[in-house]
Amino acid sequence: RHSGRARSPGCGIPVETSVDRHESYVTFCQLEDEAAFTCSADRTIRKWDVRTGQCLQVFRGHTSIVNRILVANNQLFSSSYDRTARAWSVDKGQVAQEFRGHRNCVLTLAYSAPWDLPGAPCAEEVGGLLVTGSTDGTAKVWQVASGCCHQTLRGHTGAVLCLVLDTPSHTAFTGSTDATIRAWDILSGEQLRVFREHQGSVICLELVNQHVYSGSADRTVKCWLADTGECVRTFAAHRHSVSALRYHAGTCK
């Protein structure tokens, strides 16, 4: 089988071809075992062997920029500017389900497997739940097996930029350009609480030990109690927007 690599004249060294690379900028990457998954403005998702750098698979189907990907439970989930999210078979490289209903770009996503939904009715039958956030100001909860929208989470007055799930409590936390974080029951669709103290868009979120950490365009990171919405600490060291954060070994970076 052709490897997708050409040989440079006279030296026998493989030369990267267009088969082995994205044709536009990469928007996101996830490492999964010995593979890397990347998505791109070229409308594709690619799977790579991290040891050799070889492109193993190309996932085609989105019609605009692919924003985010998530690999879980032997499925690949993706979100796109084409207003859809999709579920793909990792093994076959084909679309298994398409989620349509957002009125604008789908930016962020999170997945809850059936076994992470204790007490949820028909958890096995729905194949888990996918939660998506969009520039249309809503988040949606989807049944993965059917592609049906289970709940639409309405309350934000700006684009939903980020989200995290607390699966044992069936709770989603969403961050928005409206400078708030909101907590939702993903089974009932009920808005549980609103976190208000940021002065700019909430760009990134992380949930650790029942604390929500948020990074914002107001140049701060805040730590909140997940069950009450109380802000317990503000980190104010940055000179520009906080676009990513990670909690590790008792420190937030």
CA-based nearest residue to 133, from 173, 178, 167, 95: 173
Residue-level pLDDT at 6: 42
pTM for the whole thing? Answer: 0.88
pLDDT (tens digit, 0 to 9) for every residue of the chain, 253 residues total?
334 444 434 443 333 445 679 999 999 999 998 899 999 999 999 999 999 999 999 999 999 999 999 999 889 999 999 999 999 999 888 999 999 999 999 999 999 998 887 666 555 567 899 999 999 999 999 999 999 999 999 999 999 999 999 998 999 999 999 999 999 999 999 999 999 999 999 999 999 999 999 999 999 999 999 999 999 999 997 899 999 998 886 665 5
Residue-level pLDDT at 16: 44
CA-based nearest residue to 97, from 137, 149, 56, 164: 149
